[in-house]
Amino acid sequence: MVDRDISTADITLIDVLNSACKQASETKHRALVVVSGSHEWAGQQQQNLISYLSTRQQTKTSSYPFLWLADAGLDSRAIKPRQINQWLGREVQFVVMDSFVGFHPDSFGAATGLIPAGGALVWIIPALASWPAYEDPEYLHFIPQGQDPRRLFLQRLRDCLHGVSNHWLFTAKGLIHQPSVLSGNESGLRSFYSQTYANAEQQCVVQEVIGLVNKHKAQPIVLTADRGRGKSAALGLAVGLLLEQSPATNKDPLSLLATAPRKQALAKLWQHASEVLQNDQQHQSEGVDLGTVGQRLMGPSGQLGFSSPQDILQERPEVDLLLIDEAAMIPVPILTKLVMAYPKCVLASTVHGYEGTGRGFAVRFQRFLQQHFPRFQQLTLEEPVRWAVGDPLEAFSYQALLLGANPAEVKPTKHFQLEQLTLTWLDAKDLIANEHRLNQLFALLVLAHYQTKPSDLRQLLDDPSGRLLVAEWQGQVVGTLWAVAEPPLPEALREPVWLGQRRLKGQLLPQTLTYHGGDKLAGCFAYLRVMRIAVHPDWQRIGVGQQLVKKTYLYAQQAQFDFLGTSFGLTGDVLAFWLRCGLSPVRWGLSSDAASGVFSAVMLRPLNDQAKSSCLSWQQEHVLSLRYWLTAQHVAFHTVGCEVILPWVSACWTQGLSNHITTRDWQLIAGFIQGQRGLQLTLPAIANALAYWLANTQSYQQLTPHYWEALIRLAWLQETERQVACKLKFNGQKSLCAELRQVMQNLVFQ
């Protein structure tokens, strides 16, 4: 509420901010202060506010720093919105976000999580009436060259602001809107610094974590919570209580280890552990101050250390408990290795986070845990502790960015038939006109892909190249396919793209096949690329996904695209799906993705004769290149299982592969089969023939996957006979050679 002694005509942005924070402190909420107007006026307001906040910080009037997200080139105090990850895990009383430099949804969502009760987000935006038409610089990051954005995301954002009443709106005309006066939160928020626990939920989590240390046959604990629920604080409290105990005379000191995708993400955990230990003057720590994380934190009964996930797997230290914070942001292959190596661990993850990974993580990773650790514990924190229930900033961000979107609660009936599904192509305008459908659809995208972020919502609404297919049953969304049209590369740019001198926004398939595939002709084709496909968990494995792809294939044909294609993180189950849908492998990336830990893959289905001819050529070149990289002991490829290599290579059928096997190769292989040559002397010839055998359907069916894996490991991955015999459980090296002689006879003399 604006103070009584401030007249409406004379009120300043600083007055509004102080009044907003006063009300927020009384209600234990955070304030959303929207500053809307012309670029010149808003820029002046912003500069005045930053000067005021800088003075407060210099005079230590405020115990919290402030964060300014703006054009970093204009002022050293500002950082670019996309650099906000540097601040994650810290607390700031004020965030000033300048959206004239571009509204980045992920940064906005992240910024709201940094602010505690009593703080405020000051959001600088263009005049509301003209905001949807604003030439937002963010379009440069995702709109294909030469295309105009739909401009629907900013329209929806403005509508969300109009639809809520709990924000402050300041314009050149003064204070236009302010929230109603709310009664103070009677229960208040308990301070982490005056009491041990914030609530009973947190106490329960802390006790379970402490108890895990003493269990002999421990199972992992999975802790999930929305932001602001005290998840990291609970881990820190558990660590502090474990380390402050008097050391037992008959036990070794406790060794606790914490890890996260970024060291700074552990700041809250480190801080609360340090706060508990400060009661003991003898403890030593590195990184006690707010916002800092040291390499170790020591207490009477042991120490807490920090290591990156990769260092832990490489060094394999002995620890009594492993704490993994923001687990959903760690690549799943790394995460599974961590849990298998350290089953006495706690995996904590944000559910509705700005990174959009928590819910998908919970669904997918639970399958792994149920298989290997059927008695793992699932704990949740529901009650907010950093702000009170009903927080305006949380409510707005959840609605505007769909952070709280949930899938439909619907299951197929016993007699359900696929023909009962309604498959509809939707325009982006259809989505913003039906918020219920948009929520269900985006929730599926989040569940299906760990990297789905609020920025994907913006691309979904604004990218004119997008095509959206929705599968519905009884009015509920049960599946969706999101594709993008990628036209031929401009003729003048094909050579620069092939040389690696140019990279265009969008057009992933023509560019990657031109540059990485090395064929200039690839840039002449038009592609419809499936970017995401998502099916409701209760509707999977009954053909919904294949129905979506089938309808998309027919659309691509009618729209005269040359290829239906996709690019994805290569895993066995996803590969199997696309093979069932009739797509063929044409490219396998040479390095694993930093976020997923898996390799990228490109698969295509040609839609005309010219495309089919090129596709066959690309497949043959790809198999020969892949064989080289595997044989050359490309270290990263050794993380890929043969359950991926086998179906991938076998799907690259082309008769031309036989031309790469010489008469001499066949003679050497025949000599091995007849017992006249040793296996090691024959492996170069087997390596030449292996691609042809795998890609030849008739040959491929002659051997079981067990023997194909043995040949791949020996001839391509260059593992020793002893290693292969041990991994694949042959009865020694002699048995391995004898069995290979027998089964390979079918390949050569069929």
Q: What is the CATH number of the domain that holds 221?
A: 3.40.50.300
* H-helix segments, 562-662: 572-580, 609-631, 642-650
Query: Which amino acid, one-letter code, is at 451?
Result: Q
Residue 432 and residue 333 share a domain: no
57: nearest Cα among 65, 69, 68, 47: 65
Q: What does the alpha-carbon distance between residue 669 and residue 699 come to, in Å, rounded to a whole number?
A: 15
Q: Is 467 annotated as a binding residue?
A: no
* H-helix segments, 348-391: 358-372
Could you tell me the two tokens for 91?
A: 């607390």
Dihedral sign from CA coordinates of 434, 435, 437, 442: positive
Q: Quick check: helix, strand or coil at residue 585?
A: strand
Q: Are 405 and 399 in contact (CB under 8 A)?
A: no
Beta pairing partners, 66: 94
Dihedral sign from CA coordinates of 425, 431, 433, 438: positive
Residue 250 and residue 320 share a domain: yes
Residue 159 and residue 233 share a domain: no
Q: What is the pLDDT of residue 437?
A: 96
Q: What does the alpha-carbon distance between residue 550 and residue 562 come to, in Å, rounded to a whole number?
A: 16
417-423's contacts with Cβ under 8 Å and 24+ in sequence apart are: 418/542, 418/543, 418/544, 418/547, 420/473, 421/471, 421/472, 421/473, 421/478, 421/479, 421/544, 421/547, 422/471, 422/472, 422/473, 423/469, 423/470, 423/471, 423/547, 423/548, 423/551
Query: What is the end-to-end Cα distance of the chain in Å, rounded?
Result: 87
CATH code: domain of residue 48: 3.40.50.11040
Report the number of distinct structural domains present in the chain: 4
Q: What is the pLDDT of residue 637?
A: 67
The angle subtended at Cα 28 by Cα 27 and Cα 32, nearest 5°, is: 85
Q: What does the alpha-carbon distance between residue 199 and residue 642 come to, in Å, rounded to a whole number?
A: 49
Phi, psi of 504, rounded to the nearest 5 degrees: -100, 155
Q: What does the alpha-carbon distance between residue 33 and residue 50 come to, in Å, rounded to a whole number?
A: 14
Within a domain: 400? no
Within a domain: 280? yes
The angle subtended at Cα 583 by Cα 581 and Cα 589, nearest 5°, is: 130
Q: Quick check: helix, strand or coil at residue 338?
A: helix
Residue 659 and residue 607 share a domain: no
* H-helix segments, 173-285: 200-213, 231-244, 267-277
Q: Is 202 annotated as a binding residue?
A: yes
Residue 165 and residue 56 share a domain: yes
Measure Cα distances from 688 to 386, 560, 701 in Å: 63, 39, 19
The angle subtended at Cα 315 by Cα 310 and Cα 321, nearest 5°, is: 85
Cα Rg of the chain (Å, integer): 29
237: nearest Cα among 223, 226, 251: 223
Q: Are 438 and 431 in contact (CB under 8 A)?
A: yes
Residue 122 and residue 52 share a domain: yes
Burial of 59 (0-12, 13-18, 19+ CB in 10 A): exposed
Q: What is the pLDDT of residue 349?
A: 85
Pairing of strands 66-69, 254-259: unpaired
Pairing of strands 174-177, 168-171: antiparallel
Residue 129 and residue 233 share a domain: no
Dihedral sign from CA coordinates of 518, 520, 523, 527: negative
Residues 6 or more apart in contact with residue 296 via CB below 8 angstroms: 285, 286, 303, 304, 305, 306
Q: What does the alpha-carbon distance between residue 303 and residue 262 come to, in Å, rounded to a whole number?
A: 20
Within a domain: 120? yes
Residue 350 and residue 275 share a domain: yes
Residue at a domain's end among 361, 381, 401: 381
- State the angle between helix axes of 663-673 and 733-748 in degrees (0 to 180), rounded to the nearest 10: 130
Q: Are 669 and 682 in contact (CB under 8 A)?
A: yes
Q: Is 742 annotated as a binding residue?
A: no
Residue 676 and residue 621 share a domain: no
Within a domain: 184? no
Q: Are 265 and 88 in contact (CB under 8 A)?
A: yes
165: nearest Cα among 151, 152, 155, 179: 179
Burial of 723 (0-12, 13-18, 19+ CB in 10 A): middle
Query: Which amino acid, one-letter code, is at 497?
Result: V
Q: Where are the beta strands (DSSP E) in 300-404?
A: 302-306, 321-324, 345-350, 377-381
Within a domain: 643? no
Residue 581: domain span: 418-635
DSSP 97: E
Residues 6 or more apart in contact with residue 204 via CB below 8 angstroms: 379
Within a domain: 131? yes
Ordered strands of the 296-299 beta sheet: 296-299, 302-306, 254-259, 321-324, 345-350, 221-225, 377-381
Residue 206 and residue 173 share a domain: no
547: nearest Cα among 360, 438, 412, 363: 412
Q: Quick check: helix, strand or coil at residue 449?
A: coil
202: nearest Cα among 379, 465, 348, 453: 379
Residue 594 and residue 488 share a domain: yes
Query: SS3 string of 39-73?
Result: HHHHHHHHHHHHHHHHHHHHCCCCCCCEEEECCCC
Residue 630 and residue 663 share a domain: no
Q: Is 687 annotated as a binding residue?
A: no
Within a domain: 299? yes
Within a domain: 401? no
Could you tell me the two tokens for 283?
A: 């403890």
395: nearest Cα among 386, 404, 385: 404
Q: What does the alpha-carbon distance between residue 599 and residue 586 come to, in Å, rounded to a whole number?
A: 13
Q: Is 386 annotated as a binding residue?
A: yes
Dihedral sign from CA coordinates of 443, 449, 454, 460: negative
Prediction pTM value:
0.86
Q: Tell how far CA 728 is from the center of its chain.
A: 34
Q: Is 330 annotated as a binding residue?
A: no
Query: How many helices (H) and strands (E) would you count in the chain?
Result: 26, 20
- pLDDT per 10-residue tile (average), the chain, 750 residues: 48 95 94 97 97 86 81 91 84 95 94 93 97 96 92 96 91 92 48 61 92 88 87 92 77 90 83 80 42 74 90 90 88 83 92 52 74 91 90 93 90 93 96 95 85 90 97 97 97 94 92 94 97 94 97 98 95 92 93 71 97 94 85 66 87 74 93 94 93 87 92 91 94 96 87
